[in-house]
Amino acid sequence: MSEHLPELEDELENGEGSEEIYERVNLIVDKGQEPLRIDKFIQNRIEGATRNKVQQAIEAGMVLVNDKPVKSNYKVRPLDRLIVYSTKNPESTEVKPENIPLNIVYEDEDVMVVNKPAGIVVHPGCGNYTGTLVNGLAYYLGDDKVNPAEPVIPRFGLVHRIDKNTSGLLVIAKSEKAMTDLAKQFFDHTVERRYLALVWGDFEETEGTVVAHVGRHQRFRKIMDAYPDGEHGKEAITHYEVLERFNYVTLIACRLETGRTHQIRVHMQHIGHPLFNDDTYGGDRIVKGTVFAKYKQFVENCFQLMPRHALHAQTLGFIHPRTRKPMLFESELPEDFAGVLEKWRRYKRKDEE
């Protein structure tokens, strides 16, 4: 496992694999606070907040006072309890626009939905300054499509991420208003996310739920681990459903309630079903099945066909930030994933003859 740590260190440091990109700030107004407009109060209390961004957050319902939304002219009172939903904005990395092909599934003036191929890092960071999805977005959007008065659309509108070697759907916000609205939807767990995963082993049940906190491994700090008693990490909930059984591996659908770093990969390893060919969490070896020559060669051929963990972000659903209409998108399995499934189907048929 340790031989993969340097690459994973880069992945975790630049946020790759972190599903959600937001935070919640809790503030309590001091007893002696004079009446003050809430936008000015928040601007004074949160580092890096601008009045314009605060007002947009208020308008988008991202600021609550005593659990209720307010308007920008609301004046805070002593002991008011404020909750501010804010997109996390890591230290900015200079983004070099690059002409990288983008598979754009949908686009309007507010949002883009992109189908990311495996092998592409989402945004620049330690060890990955070029060739990322964000470099491609910077080129595609251009200065004329990004409000020059607000050039710091954080990470070019990313509100969630998927791992470098996970394929599938991402939504991109094209304005601050869309950014804050979508971030709140992710935080409130109202976004529909369905992943397809090929995992080792068979399941007795047809569906189930994994509830275990996810956080950094206590010994190997560059990987994640599951903590079922909740003593470390953050709450994580994954629902799964069996779609197709191949005796030694199983195709499942996973629905996320939370979005933690490597959540599906860690949860599946935790219950004894690591993702097929997941070289970080134990899936890159024969986990189930007798190791005889033909079977071993078959599995190695599958690994060669799909040299990454078998995870695909298939479905993405959210409420459009402007029209408030439900939006739902689905992505077909990429060629490598589909090819491995077909190989397992043929192997199962031969195995049962």
Cα 129 from Cα 137, distance rounded (Å): 14
Residue closest to 166 by CA, chosen among 216, 126, 108, 116:
116
Query: What topology is assigned to 2-20+91-184 in CATH?
Result: Pseudouridine synthase (3.30.2350)
Question: Which tens digit of pLDDT belongs to each residue from 141-173?
Answer: 884 444 434 443 444 578 888 999 999 999 999
User: What tokens does 163 get?
Assistant: 């791992």
- For β-strands 36-37 and 75-76, DSSP reports them as antiparallel
- pLDDT at residue number 175: 83
Q: What percent of the chain has pLDDT over 70?
A: 86
- Taking the complete model, does pTM exceed 0.95, yes or no? no
- The residues annotated with a catalytic role in the active site are 163
What contacts 116, CB < 8 A, 6 or more positions away?
A: 103, 122, 133, 162, 166, 167, 168, 169, 170, 313
| For range 160-187, the mean pLDDT | 89
- pLDDT at residue number 337: 98
At 216 the three-state DSSP class reads strand
What are the phi and psi torsion angles at 187 (to 5°)? -65, -35
Cα 256 from Cα 262, distance rounded (Å): 12
Higher pLDDT, 83 or 309: 309
Same fold, 2-20+91-184 and 193-317+326-352: yes
Query: What topology is assigned to 23-86 in CATH?
Result: 3.10.290
Higher pLDDT, 125 or 190: 190
Q: Domain spans of the chain? A: 2-20+91-184, 23-86, 193-317+326-352
Number of separate helices (H) and strands (E) present in the chain: 8, 17
Higher pLDDT, 240 or 1: 240
Which residue bears the tokens 């004074």?
44
Domain 193-317+326-352 classification at class level: alpha beta
Residue closest to 96 by CA, chosen among 150, 126, 137:
137
Q: What angle do CA 160, 161, 162 make, to 5 degrees?
A: 140
Question: Which tens digit of pLDDT belongs to each residue from 89-120?
Answer: 544 556 788 999 999 999 999 999 999 999 99
Residue closest to 124 by CA, chosen among 151, 149, 158:
158
| For range 199-212, the mean pLDDT | 96
- pLDDT at residue number 216: 87
> Which residues share a beta bridge with 250?
199, 245
- pLDDT at residue number 21: 64
Question: Which tens digit of pLDDT belongs to each residue from 318-334?
Answer: 999 999 999 999 999 99
